[in-house]
Structure 1
Amino acid sequence: MIHKHTQYYIRHLKDDIPAGLVVFLVALPLCLGIALASGAPLFSGLITGLVGGLIVSWLSGSQLAVSGPAAGLTVIVFNAIETLGSFQGLLLACVLAGIIQLALGYLRAGIIGAFFPSAVIEGMLAAIGLILIIKQIPHATGYHSSYEGDESYMKETARSSFMELVDAFGGISPGSTVISGVALLLLILWSMPWFKKQKLLKLIPGPLVVVLWGVGYNLAATKFAPAWSVGAEHLVSLPVPEKTTDFFNNFMFPDFSYLTNPQVYVVAITIAIIASLETLLSLEATDKLDPFKRIAPTNRELKAQGIGNIISGLIGGLPMTAVIVRSAASINAGGRTRISCFTHGLFLLLSVLFLAYYLNYIPLPCLAAILLHTGYKLANPGLFSHFYHKGMSQFMPFAITVLAILITDLLKGMAIGMVIGLFFVVKANYSAAITLIQDGSHYVLKFNKDVSFLNKALLRKFILRIQENSSVVIDASNAKFIDHDIVELIEDFLVQAPDDNISVEVIDLYGKEKIKKHESLVVLNERADA
């Protein structure tokens, strides 16, 4: 069996290694950018990418899913660091979240993603996209005020966040604005269909082009036009190891004294739920993109992510998920097996060990531009239009989830979105479960599907519409389950119907799969052919 698997991986090395290089070039700026947006040390983003590539790739049930720090968790992570007052407190929450995910995997909870309406999930991602846009503009314009704390959207009111956004335009740094502005244009150009059709350009990831542009521009500006360059405070700042052993000095460890802080458990549960949902959604999307149409086991993926988050938290990394952007990049670049994800992790490791000095030339406005572009893709105006045209039952949960997250926080916003989504599900079920058709003095009261107590008011309304001196057929043949409350209401109608000269025929009200027949109504409810 091992020999067979080895041959399988060797056969695809020619596809997987180049794909791994492409994923590395996409992931490197994203790892740094997401750490920046999370208010965490930049090195922590790279640690998460390393764990995702070198370890989770082999534990995952998916051949093509790439794991690492996710834009969808930036808001939670920043809020958690601020709430707990310590990055090391967050690391402990990450470890606990991993334990919860591991438990969920063993409890076979991989199906939980199916219970969250897609409108609510898409609303969550769109809200995160909007928050990324609002909070990255200060980085993109080089606004200095509150530089370390300007990601704290969820701890501020919407008004103060927008006021800071306005202030950012008043404190524009020309160098930062030129770098981020051109970077955004490059990312937009690189996503256009014409560029994607060019074989040579298709091999070069947009984020890499943006990083090269930023580094090249800033080096030139520093030499020839210092007023248009960006200062050291707006450059990536990674510790540069003088020797290989120094690399290990950069790792941080969780502060276990936070075990007595109840807030750390709230953060852990929040991370576990959101990370698991995002992973399951990414996994579903990756399976659809897989050229071999392989289906990844969801429970195994939850276990893999759990172990990944435990390790990441123990050595100073951010919470991770399976990430669709990197997974899609791997597939589009020709990746065929998990070797592609592993290779990207290997390239990340080599870059941290030997290229940290050069990575520190990357201007932060480059990373801000990449995150602005990511935010736009998450909150694309077309998405709002798409849900609007699906009807109010889809648009309202989506829009209210977005608004609720912006006004409150991620977990409360998701809860509000779920309640609204549930309301529309109940409403749809309420309207569609029973129909009343009238043809003169003849009525057909039809149960279209399972009928619960929620449909009692609708049934009563229909019964009151039936006129005297008429005939009614109550057809329950399409319902496998009928609630006792519904049966009692029909029984009351059958008792009262002769007084109004209404003749009633009941079809299949007491099927084997539904409810036991009430013996007191055997005569009234037996079908004519019984």
Structure 2
Amino acid sequence: MDEKPSNGVKGLRHWRYDLSAGLQVALVSLPLSLGIAIASGAPPVTGVISAIIAGLIFPFLGGAYVTISGPAAGLAPALLSGMLLLGGGDLAAGYPLLLVAICLTGLLQILLAFMNAGRFAIFLPVTVVEAMLAAIGIMIILKQIPPLFGDLSPVAPTTVDSILKLPHTLLNIEPTVFLIGAVCLFLMFYLNATRRQWMKRIPPPLFVALLGLVLATVFGLETVYLITMPESLLQGGITVPAFGEVMNRPELWINLLIVVITLTLIDGIESLATIAAVDKIDPYQRKSNPNITLRAMGVSNMLSSLAGGLTIIPGGVKSRVNIDAGGRTLWANFYNAIFLILFLLVATDLIAMIPLAAIAAILIYVGWRLCEYKVFRKTYAIGRDQMVIFLITVGAILATDLLWGILIGMAAEVLMLAYLLTPSFRVVLTGRLSFSQSLELLARNFMGLFRNPIIKVHGDTRDGRPHYDVSVGSLVCFNLLPFDKLLQQLPEDAGLSIIVTESGRIIDHTAMEYLHQLQEESLRAQRPFELLGMEKYYQFTQHSLSARMHDAALVKREARLSARAEEMHQFARLHGLQFDPATLAELNAHDFVYLRRGDHKQERNVMTGHYRDWMLRAFDYSHTAAPDYYAEHQHTLVIVKPAEPVSGLPDMVLAPGHYLKSYLVNYQELELPESLGFPEGYRLYAPSTHDGVIAAAGRLRGFLARHPGVYLEVRKNAVLTFRPDRELEMPEGIEELLEIIEYCLEGSPSPADDNVSGADPAEEGAS
């Protein structure tokens, strides 16, 4: 299909894809929902109730496309803290009161959505949000260590108490429970890390839960160590919010307000961050509406609380499962809810046999993915300034709570920017500035962090379409809102030039991410876009999204090339190509399917120019890919395009095995005739089935035979090729990839004497 699938009645035409995806999501959602409820201090069944309500409501309210909503591990620590706060340390007493807070949170979200408050998320520094998630991961792990070891003592109210409780837990291990938990924890890490796809046919969370059930039965584990399920869902599974008690106890109102603010803030931040992340891996490149999603979450939260359920937000793990399973619309979320209802009706007794240690193992893995060392490594690569803010935010959340930790993190961002803009005391001592002048300069720079960054807007017409030049000063997270508001008011088809002037002092990491997303959206919409003036801003690190400060002297200082850059530079000089060692954000001008996937896409050591009368672009490419969003994958990519279009070179993908199959949504697989003699395992995908595709593939067979295992994609007469099983190519490897030009020319032979050697199909996602 050429059109992008839409929600609503039109989306029902994709029911085969969404129904299959909904079943696979339900198999992951069931153990996760049970675990999230347990981690929140609530009855296990409430997690499943929340997921069911989310699935039944979200598809009818819209806002996203392939996002699966439900309870999320990220809110478990906040829910647990709120329950303890409102119940005076008693979880049973605090739960009905927490439901009131969840209902009020949903109402507040609906009001904020009507006020278009989703746009205010732009104020939040990206690093503070990522630090919040990392801190949540640490909190989840600390809370789940006791049940993993068989310690069923009351849950610790704070993170510090959880740490102090660890010696007691280690001294009171239940050997059988710990054995089950350790086996399940090992398998969670192993099954999620393995590249053997047949081992992932059963989702790891479901496999671990079922294995825990079997081991608990074999060892005769006592019921106190198993999940507790109500005998009747209607009579014992639904708790009603205690609205009457809240009204009659004014002393609860301040604590209730704190919980509502915390849940609203965390729910909103994580919801908006999740839908933005899911949009980046949506094969159809659709864009979610933050305010409609916020409203949908508000309605879902209100209904969930009335049925005794937990808070509901979009979930990254389940959304990824949905995409991988071929889900196309929000109906997959609806089918997920239907399957969960069936599970509750027919498998309640089996669910009650799952050990808490197995659920703890699942949650510890989820927590680890939020806070693993790669998260810290990625932040450090962006800049030391971001690492300082990251560590301060994580430490503040662990020492206090989520609300205060986020506020402290934002204060740290303000202080960091103020420090970076503070004139060195050396200029005062040397008399270049008086003390009063330095204070005046500091105050002016500090106020600039919150002042409207727009200096001038000039509109004219270029190439028959409106074009706007927008001159700006310093751009940081705290002054992006008026800038964003202006861009929203411009015509969607108008060309845009963002001119970063010398009057600006700094562009922070959040603003760099915003500008990059603006570039990507403009390119996708075929809207002329250019970013000017960045050459006079000093880049903190080689990361393309690192913060930058205006410093012409530092920019002019020639950077020393790395060994890899020197190697690429020599290759470029040998072939008369231009070379740029800088790290740039990848923009995918030709709309290659391969370059659509992943996040934090960067190119460095870029070689451009003419090669054999073809336009060449070769570079070292890196990106992150789900589910491991913090691990960087690297390959050397070669893109060639003829100076004049070559006939008989249609859009297609020749991939080893099922590589990238889930992203080829507008392509269909074509059968390769055996007579062509393609290397074993190669598959051909194309948007159409005309004979020209097979003929063109036959021309390219010789290249694949000489270099088995390469990925080859033709898009808009441009050709991309690289080796998925290699990282960075040596110069001779790049020379081999450039041989593709010989096989792209019309009438080029497909050599019969090529040594066709089979290659093991690369597994999808291996890059």
Asked if TM exceeds 0.5, the reply is yes
Partner Cα separation in structure 2 for residue 374 and residue 176 of structure 1 = 20
Partner Cα separation in structure 2 for residue 325 and residue 181 of structure 1 = 23
- Secondary structure of the residue that 2:387 maps to in structure 1? helix
TM-score with structure 2 setting the length = 0.53
Does the 8 Å contact 1:57/1:66 carry over to 2?
no
CA deviations over 1:84-142 (Å, ceiling 9, x no partner): 11211100000000011001100001112221111111111111111111111110010
Q: Which residue does 1:279 correspond to in 2?
A: 271
Q: Is residue 2:252 matched to residue 1:247?
A: no
Q: Is residue 2:157 matched to residue 1:168?
A: no
CA, structure 1 residues 39+7, in 2 after alignment: closer, same or farther (shift >3 Å)?
closer
Partner Cα separation in structure 2 for residue 201 and residue 330 of structure 1 = 18
Partner Cα separation in structure 1 for residue 447 and residue 282 of structure 2 = 48
Does the 8 Å contact 1:38/1:151 carry over to 2?
no
CA, structure 1 residues 102+6, in 2 after alignment: closer, same or farther (shift >3 Å)?
closer
Does the 8 Å contact 1:96/1:265 carry over to 2?
no
**Which of 339, 342, 354 is matched with 2:331 structurally?**
339
CA deviations over 1:211-239 (Å, ceiling 9, x no partner): 111111121222xxxxxxx3111101111
**Which of 244, 258, 272 is matched with 1:266 structurally?**
258
- Secondary structure of the residue that 2:404 maps to in structure 1? helix
Identity, in percent, stands at 35
CA, structure 1 residues 236+428, in 2 after alignment: closer, same or farther (shift >3 Å)?
same
Does the 8 Å contact 1:98/1:307 carry over to 2?
yes
Deviation beyond 6 Å, 4+ runs, structure 1: 4-7, 477-481
- Secondary structure of the residue that 2:42 maps to in structure 1? coil
Shift of 1:45: 1.1
Q: Which residue does 1:188 correspond to in 2?
A: 189
**Which of 220, 226, 239 is matched with 1:235 structurally?**
226
Q: Which residue does 1:471 correspond to in 2?
A: none
CA, structure 1 residues 249+236, in 2 after alignment: closer, same or farther (shift >3 Å)?
closer
**Which of 154, 158, 180 is matched with 1:153 structurally?**
158
- Secondary structure of the residue that 1:67 maps to in structure 2? strand
Shift of 1:480: 6.2
TM-score with structure 1 setting the length = 0.76
Map of 1:489-500 to 2, 5 A cutoff? none
**Which of 402, 417, 430 is matched with 2:394 structurally?**
402
Q: Which residue does 1:227 correspond to in 2?
A: none
Does the 8 Å contact 2:32/2:362 carry over to 1?
yes
Q: Which residue does 2:146 correspond to in 1?
A: 138
Q: Which residue does 1:206 correspond to in 2?
A: 204
Q: Is residue 2:69 matched to residue 1:77?
A: no
CA deviations over 1:218-277 (Å, ceiling 9, x no partner): 21222xxxxxxx311110111133xxxx63652111111314332212211211111011
CA, structure 1 residues 134+508, in 2 after alignment: closer, same or farther (shift >3 Å)?
closer
Q: Which has the higher strand share?
A: 2
CA, structure 1 residues 456+354, in 2 after alignment: closer, same or farther (shift >3 Å)?
closer
Q: Is residue 2:88 matched to residue 1:98?
A: no
CA deviations over 1:467-523 (Å, ceiling 9, x no partner): xxxxxxxxxx97769xxxxxxxxxxxxxxxxxxxxxxxxx999xxxxxxxxxxxxxx
CA deviations over 1:378-397 (Å, ceiling 9, x no partner): 11111112212322210011
CA, structure 1 residues 429+8, in 2 after alignment: closer, same or farther (shift >3 Å)?
farther
**Which amino acid is 1:39 matched to?**
G
CA, structure 1 residues 353+104, in 2 after alignment: closer, same or farther (shift >3 Å)?
same
**Which of 218, 236, 240 is matched with 2:216 structurally?**
218
Q: Which moved more, 1:51-60 or 1:18-27?
A: 51-60
Partner Cα separation in structure 2 for residue 133 and residue 371 of structure 1 = 7
CA deviations over 1:407-466 (Å, ceiling 9, x no partner): 11111111111100122233445579xxx9xxxxxxxxxxxxxx99433999xxxxxxxx
CA deviations over 1:172-219 (Å, ceiling 9, x no partner): 112211111111121112212413xx2x33332100110111111121
Partner Cα separation in structure 1 for residue 502 and residue 183 of structure 2 = 70
Partner Cα separation in structure 1 for residue 50 and residue 394 of structure 2 = 28
Shift of 1:365: 0.5
Q: Which residue does 1:420 correspond to in 2?
A: 412
Q: Which moved more, 1:255-264 or 1:389-398?
A: 255-264
| Unaligned ranges ≥5, structure 2 | 1-5, 88-93, 428-440, 449-469, 475-500, 504-767
- Secondary structure of the residue that 1:322 maps to in structure 2? strand
Q: Which moved more, 1:16-25 or 1:383-392?
A: 383-392
Q: Which residue does 1:439 correspond to in 2?
A: none
CA, structure 1 residues 429+328, in 2 after alignment: closer, same or farther (shift >3 Å)?
farther
Shift of 1:339: 1.4
Partner Cα separation in structure 2 for residue 316 and residue 420 of structure 1 = 38
- Secondary structure of the residue that 2:69 maps to in structure 1? strand
CA, structure 1 residues 480+365, in 2 after alignment: closer, same or farther (shift >3 Å)?
closer
CA, structure 1 residues 34+151, in 2 after alignment: closer, same or farther (shift >3 Å)?
farther
Partner Cα separation in structure 1 for residue 207 and residue 285 of structure 2 = 31
CA, structure 1 residues 328+5, in 2 after alignment: closer, same or farther (shift >3 Å)?
closer
Does the 8 Å contact 1:96/1:310 carry over to 2?
yes
- Secondary structure of the residue that 2:195 maps to in structure 1? helix
Q: Which residue does 1:117 correspond to in 2?
A: 125
Q: Which residue does 1:455 correspond to in 2?
A: 445
Map of 1:368-447 to 2, 5 A cutoff? 368-428=360-420
Does the 8 Å contact 1:95/1:313 carry over to 2?
yes
Shift of 1:7: 6.8
Partner Cα separation in structure 1 for residue 54 and residue 199 of structure 2 = 27
**Which amino acid is 1:128 matched to?**
I
Partner Cα separation in structure 1 for residue 59 and residue 260 of structure 2 = 23
**Which amino acid is 1:87 matched to?**
Y
- Secondary structure of the residue that 1:45 maps to in structure 2? helix
Partner Cα separation in structure 2 for residue 340 and residue 67 of structure 1 = 11
| Unaligned ranges ≥5, structure 1 | 223-229, 437-450, 459-476, 482-506, 510-530
Shift of 1:165: 1.1
CA, structure 1 residues 55+6, in 2 after alignment: closer, same or farther (shift >3 Å)?
closer
Partner Cα separation in structure 2 for residue 232 and residue 427 of structure 1 = 57
CA, structure 1 residues 321+10, in 2 after alignment: closer, same or farther (shift >3 Å)?
closer
Partner Cα separation in structure 1 for residue 275 and residue 63 of structure 2 = 10
CA, structure 1 residues 479+135, in 2 after alignment: closer, same or farther (shift >3 Å)?
closer
Q: Which moved more, 1:50-59 or 1:289-298?
A: 50-59
Q: Which moved more, 1:415-424 or 1:250-259?
A: 250-259
CA, structure 1 residues 250+17, in 2 after alignment: closer, same or farther (shift >3 Å)?
same
Does the 8 Å contact 2:71/2:311 carry over to 1?
yes
Shift of 1:153: 2.3
Partner Cα separation in structure 2 for residue 108 and residue 427 of structure 1 = 33
Partner Cα separation in structure 2 for residue 284 and residue 429 of structure 1 = 31
Shift of 1:168: 1.1
Does the 8 Å contact 1:203/1:333 carry over to 2?
no
- Secondary structure of the residue that 1:325 maps to in structure 2? helix
